[in-house]
Structure 1
């Protein structure tokens, strides 16, 4: 049987640009994974690993003009947005290189024998080692930062794990170019090309998660696709960790005081956040709880004015466009749902932004309105009007897990007056990142960042952004009563690699 072609498609027209590759067969997936598995030892040297990551960042910057041109042709995200995303991706690679050099992620702990303890403590030396080959499932909406050279790949390589990337069908040409940059950087440091593998095709993605030499997986995408892969990872004869980012509603609560004092500001900020990138950010605010009454009316009017001024945009592909149109149509048809600005088709290939309103009481009833508590990918949000605190609390109690939760407060509430602290405490169990007087779109790459959340936002408690993302691809190992000459250098008493560690209970830097 002839392998299916992989086409690069222009989302602005729906037309094929070029054939990039063919979908990988089961044998080709097997060969790619085995090549990656064979490359594990080459990544053992942390100095080489860090240098490779820095060269990869420099390599992306060297051909940035070409990469941005191809990325724009395949995503319609625009050169300005893509230029910033490429810079973020290069920064992320260098940040992980710094983390590799520092070595704290190895989490070295040494406890010497203590026969007087109850029970007695033997000589114990603990650190973390790489899991092995990591399967990375690229995202559509971030063709640089969450794709071939994105956070999953960068953090896995930093951990010492080779990767095999399942390319996203929305940007296959860009995926091939970026993979070549990474392999060129690897070759410059004597690393085999197998440290970064690339496969195309839906079936290849299924074969990849089932391959016995794949030790872990990272995914960013839909609930349906991510859950299928998560279940496949768990159903293997030897289950593996699956770190998936699936769907997120990202609720926002606007207090009565905030609506009274900052209606225009909040309405404009919400419009900008929900339409950023044509509403295709994983942290887009999808449900906004606004008080009923005059103050809430003013906020809705400000939102209506701002959204009405938003230009139509192109979604990443026509499948997403069709899903968006169907999703907003189904939601708008529900009883008591209104469309102050109707989201929908704005041309043959574009969509217009809009928002829906609904009484919050409707969300507290079982039935069709539960659809409003699910993410709708694209430039739309749902404004739920709550009558009192009890109604607000009841909605919050029904919400699924999200990447973010946001509260907009009055200055007095921000200063500690009223029940703002208890509201913040109620939002905390819902999300991995809680914001006050801000908007969730925009995820800083920083050591303190957490990009994750309760299911269905993610399938694990780990972050996919920031330095601690490396922890997903490591496992701890303890050596007990092991003669020093047999220990890895990282665990020896004289600390020849000068690593941060906890030594007999004392933190050494």
Structure 2
């Protein structure tokens, strides 16, 4: 039986652009994983790793025009957005190169023997080593930053782990092009092409997570798909870490004082955030708790005007479009749900943005309105109008884990008066990133960033953005009473690599 073709499709028309590849067989997945496994040694030198990552960024930038054109043809996200996303991806590669060069991620700790301790301490030396081959599952909505050269790949390569990427079907041509650029960069530093493998097809993705030489996996996508792979990773004879980003509602709380102070600005900001990228950001605000009364009415009026002015947009593929239209239709039939601006189909390919309102007390107890507490991918949000702090607490108590949670406070509340600190404390258990007087769309690539959250936002406590994302692909190992001559250079007393470390309790830079 012939392998199924992999087509590049234009979401603006639904028409096939070109056949890019064929879906990988189990044998082809095995070959890709084994080639990646054989490339591990070439990543052993940190100097080579850092140079490889920087060259990859340089080559991606040099090929920007071709890559952005292909990405736009396959995703309809627009050249401005995609050019910025490619720049972010290159910045991320270089940031991990800096981390590799510095070496602090190795967490070197050395303790000399101490017979006076109770119990006595032997000679102990600890650092972190790469896990092995990492399976990376690309996201649909970030064809650069969470795809073949995205954060999972960059952080895994920085850790010294080769990758095999399962391409997303929404941008297969771009995936092939980016993989080619990375392999060219690898060749420039004597690293085998197998260090970045690429496979297509649903079954290939399943085979990948089950492969005995795959040591860990990173995933960005739906709850259903991510949970299936997570369960497969756990069911292996040797289970592996599965770092999945699955879904998030990203709640927003607007206090009565904040609405009274700047209702119009909050409405405009919310509209911009929930329609950004046609509502296809993983941190889109999907539920907003706004007060009833005059200030809340002004906020809704501002939101209505701004959303009504938002143009129609094309989602990443027609399956997502169908799911969005069906999801909105199901939500609008619920009792007491209204649509001041009705989201839905604009034509056979595009969708229009909108938002729904519901009394908050409909969400404080289990019932049919629980559907409003589930993510709806696309340009829609739900505004729950509350009467009093008890309703806010009641809704928050029923929310699952999220990537972000946001609170809008007045100037006095932000200065420490009122419930500001209390609201922050209530939101902290719900999310990995808590924002004050901002909007969650836009995830800065910075050392202090955390892009993760309690399940179902993610399946682990790690981050997929920022420098600490490298920790996902490392494991600690300690040597006890090993002769100095046998130790890896990272753990020798004279520190020939000049690494930051903790030496007999002292932090050395």
TM-score (norm 2): 1.00
> Hey, what's the Cα distance between the residues in 1 that align with 2:377 and 2:20?
27
- Secondary structure (helix, strand or coil) at the match of 1:164 reads strand
Measured in 2, the distance between the counterparts of 1:300 and 1:424 equals 24
Structure-1 residue corresponding to 2:433 = 433
CA distance in 1, matches of 2:19, 2:174: 12
What's 2:459 paired with?
A: 459
CA deviations on 1:423-460 (whole Å, 9 max, x unpaired) are 11100010000000000000000000000000000000
What SS class does the counterpart of residue 19 from structure 1 fall into? strand
Partner SS state of residue 443, structure 1 = coil
2:143 corresponding residue in structure 1: 143
Counterparts of 1:89 and 1:98, CA distance in 2 = 14
- Between the aligned partners of 2:294 and 2:21, the Cα distance in structure 1 is 58
Equivalent residue, structure 2, for 1:104: 104
Q: Equivalents in 1 of 2:390, 2:333: separation in Å?
A: 27
The one-character-per-residue Cα deviations of 1:55-78 (angstroms, maximum 9, x if unpaired) are 000010011000000000000000
Residue pairs, 1:340-351, within 5 angstroms: 340-351=340-351
Q: Matches of 1:23 and 1:455 in 2, distance apart?
A: 31
Q: How far apart, in 2, do the equivalents of 1:368 and 1:231 lie? A: 28
Question: 2:48 matched to 1:48?
Answer: yes
Query: Secondary structure in 2 aligned to 1:477?
Result: strand
SS in 1 for 2:231: helix
Other structure's SS at 1:252 match:
strand
Structure 2 Cα separation of the partners of residues 29 and 52 of structure 1? 24
Matched, 1:64 2:64: yes
Q: CA deviation at 1:161?
A: 0.1
- Tell me the alpha carbon deviations over residues 204-262 of structure 1, each in whole angstroms, 9 at most, x when there is no partner: 00000000000000000000000000000000000000000000000000000011010
**Shift of the alpha carbon at 1:10?**
0.0
Residue matched to 2:282: 282
* Counterpart-to-counterpart distance in 2, 1:123 and 1:22: 54
Q: CA deviation at 1:115?
A: 1.0
1:362 aligns with 2:374: no
The Cα of 1:116 is off from its aligned counterpart by 1.1
How many Å separate the matches in 2 of 1:278 and 1:368? Answer: 27
Runs of 4+ in 1 over 2 A off after TM superposition: none
Q: Distance in 2 between matches of 1:462 and 1:381?
A: 27
| CA–CA distance in structure 2, aligned partners of residues 470 and 123 of structure 1 | 28
| 3-state DSSP of counterpart to 1:58 | helix
Q: Which residue of 2 aligns with 1:119?
A: 119
Deviations 1:75-104 (A, max 9, x none): 000000000000000000000000000000
In the alignment, what sits opposite 1:271?
271
Match of 1:158 in 2: 158
Q: Distance in 1 between matches of 2:63 and 2:370?
A: 47
| Equivalences for residues 344-493 of structure 1 within 5 A | 344-493=344-493
CA RMSD of aligned residues (A): 0.4
Structure 2 equivalent of residue 502 of structure 1: 502
Q: How far has the Cα of 1:365 moved from its partner?
A: 2.1
> What is residue 11 of structure 1 aligned with on the other side?
11
Task: Note if 1:175 corresponds to 2:181.
Answer: no
Aligned residue for 1:114, secondary structure, equals coil
Cα distance, 1:410 vs structure 2: 0.6
C-alpha distance after superposition, 1:139-178 (max 9, x if no partner): 0000000000000000000000000000000000000000
Normalised by the length of structure 1, the TM-score is 1.00
Instruction: For 1:2 and 1:262, locate their aligned partners in 2 and report how far apart those are by CA, in whole Å.
Output: 61
1:31-59 deviations in whole A, cap 9, x for unaligned?
00000001111100000000000000001
Q: Which residue of 2 aligns with 1:33?
A: 33
Does 2:218 correspond to 1:190? Answer: no
In structure 1, distance between residues paired with 2:328 and 2:455: 23
SS of equivalent to 1:376: coil
Q: Which residue of 1 aligns with 2:248?
A: 248
Equivalence for 1:322: 322
Number of matched residues?
509
Equivalent-residue separation in structure 1 for 2:242 and 2:481 (angstroms): 33
Q: What runs of 5+ residues in structure 1 fail to find an aligned partner?
A: none
- Counterpart-to-counterpart distance in 2, 1:351 and 1:326: 12
TM superposition shift of 1:366: 1.2
Taking the aligned partners of 2:418 and 2:173, their CA distance within structure 1 comes to 54
Task: Return the offset for 1:419.
Answer: 1.3
**Residue in 2 aligned with 1:133?**
133
Separation in structure 1 between the aligned mates of residue 421 and residue 474 of structure 2, nearest angstrom: 36
Cα distance in 2, alignment partners of residues 508 and 333 from structure 1: 63
CA distance in structure 2 between the partners assigned to 1:361 and 1:323 by the alignment: 27
For 1:373 and 1:121, locate their aligned partners in 2 and report how far apart those are by CA, in whole Å: 53
Counterpart CA distance in 1 for 2:154 and 2:16 is 31
Distance 1:329 1:481 in 2: 67
| Other structure's SS at 1:465 match | coil
C-alpha distance in 2, partners of 1:56/1:123? 40
Aligned residue in 2 for 1:312: 312
